[in-house]
């Protein structure tokens, strides 16, 4: 009886998983169609928008912010489905097909919720902090090459720009932890910033070893190099560089082996303990957008970005990025949390020396 | 357009600097300083110095000021016991020294006499890139390699000194 029951549950679970894959493929096809869409009637409009510098920037900003919002809705749903699959349960399934609209419902709930401000909070900091965290996240998307023609602005210092802008998030997290005027928030904020600053070092060294190969800091330069010489992950000194980058990215995203800043058992939920409603939603949005960006950045640096046969570039890019994000989720739902001294020790005693060695190896290999 | 942009950014950066000095709450002061660094980076960008702008944000706003904030928060200097410095002689001395600095700058010709200069559009376009700065710093034919290396040794000495001071009791 119980065997038969579990068998049917297994069948239902695999049915669900097939459904999820199907939905994902449909979304990819839609992305491909949009990527190839050219509406002849709209050409003068596109031309006008493209030529005017301020309008151009505004349109790009609107497109990117809506892209990020939709992406995060999808990512949260995928994370819950994937977590459910790993933990032998179903995940969201009631709102919309395969529970796809569950996140939308949650977002609506967050928007309509009461926005509570603690009486002792430092108000300006408390109000500003979620946006100081969210805005740099959006700004980093500016240099992400989504496809051959899908890059908002290719700077000649793109990699430095990413490092600079993403380090600004630390200020926002600190402001949130301080502004909440709550000891758990403060401790969470302090932990988050210590983690961000420490793991920035091996991450930058890993990115620098890519730069020694490519000889340029612009994203287009990196992709062009990979178009001629194959994916950078295939150069052997860059395999450890990628692993270091992945670990550092997991730490900077505060994902589970490194989720000490929001460790529920110790700190309630860290620097966003006091936040509710829309402001909490912004933290959440920034976290998932950052997750996509880190994975996309790794894809552009190590896995050839949008390069790939037959399918259009943006589909390749999103496919590769989703594989990497799923890997990150897999790690998240498998590995237990580190202790704070283990986390700092891992960074400063293992990753930093290792990344220096990798950097020297990469420089030697690249300048043969 | 560019002049208006410069005006807005310059006004905001001076405003944030003043707010940083005037603020009683040390954490807010530090945050205004972060804002000031970010605005300075924007000014560097308008001068086509992308590398300096990025480094300004990475080093000052991203690393040094965050460490400052870190220490301030660990010391927990809240608004309740904010720093209360008695005025005394310090503002007066600061104003006098500032005026002397301004006078020496204008005597050296750094204020008022800056003309169009020799910079061509091509030079400006390539002058701020990583490549140009790297070549300037590390080319042995140029005079900046030695001071650069000496500065890096100085920083190393400072790091060793900090470790010696902090680790004395362990």
Query: Minimal CA–CA distance to A207: which of A238, A176, A169?
Result: A238
Q: Residues B145-155: pLDDT tens digits? A: 888 889 999 99
> How do residues B120-148 score in pLDDT, each as one tens digit?
777 777 777 788 888 888 888 888 888 88
- Rounded CA-CA distance B155/B149 in Å is 10
Q: Do B73 and A190 touch, CB atoms closer than 8 A?
A: yes
A165 inside 8 A of chain B by CB: yes
Contact A110, A33 (CB under 8 A): no
In eight-state DSSP terms, residue A346 is: I
Structure confidence at residue A1 (pLDDT): 36
**Higher per-residue confidence, B117 vs B37:** B37
- Phi, psi dihedral angles at A29 (to 5 degrees): -60, -40
Shortest distance between the Cα of A328 and any Cα of chain B, in A, equals 26
Q: Is the CB of residue B127 less than 8 Å away from at least one CB of chain A? A: no
Name the residue ranges covered by the structural domains of chain B. 1-77+126-138, 144-170
Which tokens in the block code for residue A228?
A: 């001629």
d(CA A359, CA A202): 10
Strand, coil or helix: A147 = strand
pLDDT of B157 above 90: yes
Domain boundaries defined on chain A? 1-112, 121-368
Is A164's CB within 8 Å of B129's CB?
Answer: no
Sorting pLDDT into bands at 50, 70 and 90, what band is B15? very high
Q: Smallest CA–CA separation between B149 and chain A, in Å?
A: 19
Could you tell me the CA-to-CA distances from A206 to A159, A263, B86 in Å, in that order? 12, 28, 49
**Smallest CA–CA separation between A161 and chain B, in Å?**
6
- Which chain A residue has the Cα nearest residue B62? A167
**Cβ(B69)–Cβ(A171) below 8 Å:** yes
Q: Does the beta carbon of B34 lie under 8 angstroms from any beta carbon of chain A?
A: yes
Distance in angstroms (rounded) separating the CA atoms of residues A48 and B58: 36
Whole-angstrom distance, CA of residue A79 vs CA of residue A330: 9
Contact A171 B69 (CB under 8 A): yes
Cβ separation A160–B58 shorter than 8 A? yes
Question: Could you tell me which residues come within 8 angstroms of residue A81 by beta carbon, excluding any fewer than 6 positions away?
Answer: A16, A20, A91, A92, A98, A99
When scoring A170, A185, A198 by the number of chain B Cβ atoms within 10 A, the one with the most, hence best to mutate, is: A170
Is B74 within 8 Å of A155 when comparing Cβ atoms?
Answer: no
> What per-residue confidence (pLDDT) applies to A12?
63
Q: Tell me the DSSP string of A31-98.
A: HHHHHH---GGGHHHHHHHHHSHHHHHHHHHHHHHHHHHHHHHHHHHHHHHHHHHHTTS--S-SSSGG
Rounded to 10 deg, the angle between the A2-36 and A313-334 helix axes is 150
What does the DSSP assignment read for B25-60?
SHHHHHHHHHHHHHHHHHHHHHTT-HHHHHHIIIII
The CATH number of B1-77+126-138 is 1.20.120.1200
Please give the structure tokens belonging to residue A186: 């403060």
**Nearest beta carbon to residue A170 from set B55, B66, B129:** B66
Mutate which: B51, B59, B130, vs A, most A CBs within 10 A: B130
- Rounded CA-CA distance A260/A238 in Å is 29
Going residue by residue through chain A, which has 368 residues, state the pLDDT in tens, using 9 for 90 and above.
344 444 566 666 666 667 777 777 777 777 666 655 555 555 666 666 666 777 777 777 888 888 888 888 888 888 888 888 888 888 787 877 777 788 888 888 888 887 777 887 778 888 888 888 888 888 888 888 887 777 777 777 888 888 888 888 888 888 888 888 888 888 888 888 888 888 888 998 999 888 888 888 888 888 888 888 888 888 888 888 899 999 998 888 877 777 777 766 677 777 777 787 788 888 888 888 889 999 999 998 888 888 878 777 778 888 888 899 999 888 888 888 888 888 888 888 899 999 999 999 888 887 77
Q: What is the pLDDT of residue B84?
A: 59
Which residues of B are less than 8 Å from A175 in CB distance? 31
**B17-71 residue pLDDT tens:** 998 888 877 788 888 888 899 899 888 888 878 888 888 888 888 888 888 888 8
User: What's the farthest any 2 CA atoms get from each other in chain A?
Assistant: 70
Per-residue pLDDT, A149: 73
Cross-chain Cβ contact A163/B65 below 8 Å: no
Which residue do the tokens 């552009």 mark?
A: A300
Q: How far apart are CA A125 and CA A179, in angstroms?
A: 5
Question: pLDDT of B61-100, one tens digit each?
Answer: 888 888 888 887 777 655 545 555 566 778 888 889 999 9
pLDDT mean across residues, chain B: 81
Determine the Cα–Cα distance for residues B134 and A160; give it in Å rounded to an integer. Answer: 14
A268/A337 Cα distance (integer angstroms)? 15
pTM: 0.82
Name chain A contacts of B125, Cβ cutoff 8 Å: none
């Amino acid at each position: 009886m119980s065997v038969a029951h579990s068998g049917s549950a297994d069948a239902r679970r695999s049915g669900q998983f097939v459904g999820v894959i199907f939905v994902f493929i449909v979304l990819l096809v839609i992305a491909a169609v949009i990527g190839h869409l050219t509406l002849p009637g709209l050409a003068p409009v596109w031309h006008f928008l493209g030529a005017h510098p301020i309008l151009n920037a505004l349109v790009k900003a609107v497109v990117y912010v809506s892209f990020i919002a939709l992406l995060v809705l999808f990512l949260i749903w995928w994370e819950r489905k994937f977590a459910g699959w790993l933990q032998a349960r179903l995940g969201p399934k009631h709102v919309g097909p395969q529970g796809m609209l569950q996140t939308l419902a949650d977002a609506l709930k967050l928007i309509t919720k009461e926005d509570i401000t603690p009486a002792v909070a430092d108000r300006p900091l408390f109000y500003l902090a979620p946006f100081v965290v969210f805005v740099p996240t959006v700004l980093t998307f500016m240099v992400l090459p989504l496809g051959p023609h899908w890059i908002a602005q290719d700077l000649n210092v793109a990699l430095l720009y990413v490092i600079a802008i993403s380090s600004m998030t630390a200020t926002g997290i600190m402001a949130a932890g301080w502004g909440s005027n709550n000891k758990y928030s403060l401790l969470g904020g302090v932990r988050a910033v210590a983690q961000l600053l420490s793991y920035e070092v091996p991450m930058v060294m890993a990115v620098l070893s890519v730069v020694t190969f490519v000889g340029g800091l612009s994203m287009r330069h990196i992709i062009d190099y990979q178009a001629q010489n194959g994916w950078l992950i295939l150069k052997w000194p860059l395999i450890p560089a990628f692993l270091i980058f992945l670990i550092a990215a997991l730490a900077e995203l505060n994902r589970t082996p490194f989720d000490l800043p929001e460790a529920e058992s110790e700190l309630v939920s860290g620097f966003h303990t006091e936040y509710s409603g829309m402001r909490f939603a912004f933290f959440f949005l920034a976290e998932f957008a950052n997750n996509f960006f880190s994975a996309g950045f790794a894809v552009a640096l190590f896995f050839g970005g949008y390069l790939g046969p037959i399918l259009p570039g943006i589909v390749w890019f999103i496919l590769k990025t989703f594989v990497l994000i799923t890997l990150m989720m897999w790690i998240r739902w498998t590995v237990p949390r580190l202790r704070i001294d283990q986390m700092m020790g891992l960074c400063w005693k293992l990753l930093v020396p290792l990344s220096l060695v990798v950097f020297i190896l990469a420089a030697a290999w690249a300048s043969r | 357009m560019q002049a208006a942009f410069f005006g807005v950014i310059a006004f905001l950066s001076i405003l944030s600097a003043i707010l940083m000095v005037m603020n009683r709450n040390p954490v807010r002061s530090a945050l205004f300083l972060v804002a000031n660094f970010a605005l300075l980076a924007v000014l560097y960008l308008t001068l086509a110095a992308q590398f300096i702008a990025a480094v300004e944000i990475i080093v000052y706003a991203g690393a040094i000021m965050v460490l400052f904030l870190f220490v301030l928060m660990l010391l927990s200097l809240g608004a309740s016991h904010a720093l209360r410095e008695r005025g005394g002689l310090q503002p007066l001395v600061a104003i006098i020294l500032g005026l002397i600095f301004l006078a020496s700058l204008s005597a050296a010709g750094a204020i008022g006499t800056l003309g169009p200069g020799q910079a061509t559009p091509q030079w400006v376009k390539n002058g701020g890139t990583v490549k140009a700065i790297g070549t300037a710093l590390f080319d042995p034919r140029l005079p900046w390699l030695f001071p650069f290396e000496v500065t890096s040794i100085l920083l190393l000495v400072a790091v060793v000194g900090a470790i010696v001071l902090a680790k004395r009791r362990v």
